[in-house]
Amino acid sequence: MEGFTQKPVRYKGQVSSTKMGPTYTDQMVQGVRYKGVFDLNDLYKIIHDWLTARGYQVQESKYKSIVLSDGGKERSFDWNAHRKANEFVMLHLNIHFQVQDLHHIEVERNGEKRNLTKGRLFIRVTQDLEYDFSERFAYSKFHKILLNFLGDFMWSKKIETYWEDKQRFKAYELVNLIKETLDFMTKGNEHYDVW
């Protein structure tokens, strides 16, 4: 998905938005970079539990692991989470994990030994909306014209001010959870209590 922007068309199967331009896609992508020691399995579990508690169905669409010559590993994988908002809108959260220079280490903390991970972590969270996922407007050309009219004129404000904003703030909340799990100094955000 890197470098790929989709056209704002609301047909079945296309994940898109009603806004155009690079400023909107910049707002829709959030990232976390971390270098140090962390518990990767605990991070996976916390993110997965957060998504399933909010009704998202999570699928791992890509997994790649490479063993490096220095004994470390490089892992990259994507999670696609989606949930139905109503009969017309499907909400998507796509999470890309990338871990470089991955080394498993054993650390003693508070008298107990734990297996942790040392490396560089990058997590990218993007959110999208899918319109007419149940194909109610895909039967004829008239239905497609009607869908474009409804999306551009009748429902555009509700889509922009309700569904897109709500999805964006849920992504803020997820990124904040990741920062709290990794014990960032900059955890928390100004949008915490919006939705």
Report residue 108 as tokens.
Answer: 């003693």
**How far is CA 14 from its chain centroid?**
17
Residue 39 lies in a domain: yes
Residue 19 lies in a domain: yes
Give the C-alpha separation, 78 to 101, whole Å: 18
Residue 51 lies in a domain: yes
Query: Which residues neighbour 58 within 8 Å (Cβ) at sequence distance 6 or greater?
Result: 48, 51, 52, 79, 80, 81
Which amino acid, one-letter code, is at 44?
Y
Residue 186 lies in a domain: no
Q: What's the full length of the chain, in residues?
A: 195
For the chain, report the end-to-end CA distance as a whole number of angstroms. 28
Residue 60 lies in a domain: yes
Residue 188 lies in a domain: no
pTM across the whole model? 0.74
Report residue 84 as tokens.
Answer: 């139905």
Domain hosting residue 126, numbered range = 15-181
Give the C-alpha separation, 95 to 16, whole Å: 17
Give the C-alpha separation, 186 to 85, whole Å: 31
pLDDT in tens, the chain (195 residues): 343 334 444 443 434 433 322 333 334 688 889 898 888 899 999 999 999 999 999 999 898 988 888 778 899 999 999 999 887 788 899 999 999 988 888 888 788 888 888 999 999 999 888 877 777 777 788 888 887 887 777 777 777 778 888 888 888 889 889 988 888 766 666 565 565
Total of domains in the chain = 1
